[in-house]
Amino acid sequence: MKYKLLALDLDGTTLTSNHEILPQVKQEIQRVKDDVVVLLVTGRHHTAARPYHHELGLDTPIISCNGTYIYDFSSDTVVKENALPKEKAKQFLQLAHQHQLNMVMYVTDAMTFSSQKPIEYMKALEAWAEDFPAAIKPEIRRIASFEQELALNEYIWKFVVEGDIEQIESFTRLPFIQDEFSGEKSWSNRIDFANKGNTKGARLAEYIQTLGITPSEVIAIGDNHNDISMIELAGLGVAMANADDAVKRAADISTPEGNDGKGIADIISTYFRA
């Protein structure tokens, strides 16, 4: 089978635990990127994925926030989106405050989190972002009010809730959340809440159709629950060796080594030969 598109998750897949791209992984991606479509399909905001897109020298758009939107870095434009309507986002905020949940809100051009109750992983991301030059620096902001930030932005892409996973899973079972949001686990203690129907697999299926590529011609690689939809879509769905068991059950194969070993390099070298 000749595969025409390689869909890659970032965290836990293309990136190591230290949020770096291994030299052998970078070499393999750069080897094939002129012959096949290499597409980053991530839960990240596009500004937080930009440094890696730049490092890999990709010219393809990126699927961000678990399929919520497609962003084109070459023109700095949103190609297609299914953002949260503001009224729905307001209701989400009200419920989340009532349940005393810790949140991150992804808006048009930034990831925002509370300055009064900052989340630890966002503080770490904030420090990480400082290492990049202005042209590719991720936009991460501490804010005083989610409601005020919501009013100022054109797009609300998604919410990330972090904390006690049982408490968050209980929140996902609220009727309004079940009816209006797609909730997917993106880390051991985080669930992402996007507009209903937004998944990596759904957006990837739509995008490849515009290229004349069929799902059977796609390899998709990921490690967490939000990757399952694209892994199941792909002709060859690949779970990382470090993936959750549910992801491995959904995949056709797993990588020989995890993201801190050879990662995805073996898969690319095997299925995209020179």
pLDDT in tens, 71-108: 999 999 999 999 999 999 999 999 999 999 999 999 99
Q: Which residues contact 14 (CB under 8 A, 6 or more apart)?
A: 8, 21, 25, 29, 40, 52, 221, 259, 263, 264
pLDDT digits (tens, 9 = 90+) for 119-144: 988 999 999 999 999 999 999 999 99
215 touches 202 (CB < 8 A) = no
pLDDT at 175: 97
* Average confidence score pLDDT of the chain: 96
What percent of the chain is predicted at pLDDT more than 70?
Answer: 100
Q: What is the mean pLDDT of residues 211-229?
A: 97
pLDDT at 153: 97
Q: Which residues contact 237 (CB under 8 A, 6 or more apart)?
A: 219, 220, 230, 231, 250, 251, 252, 253
Which residues form the catalytic set? 9
Q: How many residues does the chain have?
A: 274
pLDDT at 97: 94
pLDDT digits (tens, 9 = 90+) for 153-168: 999 999 999 999 999 9
pLDDT at 274: 65
Could you tell me the pTM of the whole model? 0.94
State how far the alpha carbon of 27 is from the alpha carbons of 18, 30, 31, 269, in Å. 18, 5, 6, 10
In the predicted structure, residue 185 carries a pLDDT above the cut 90: no
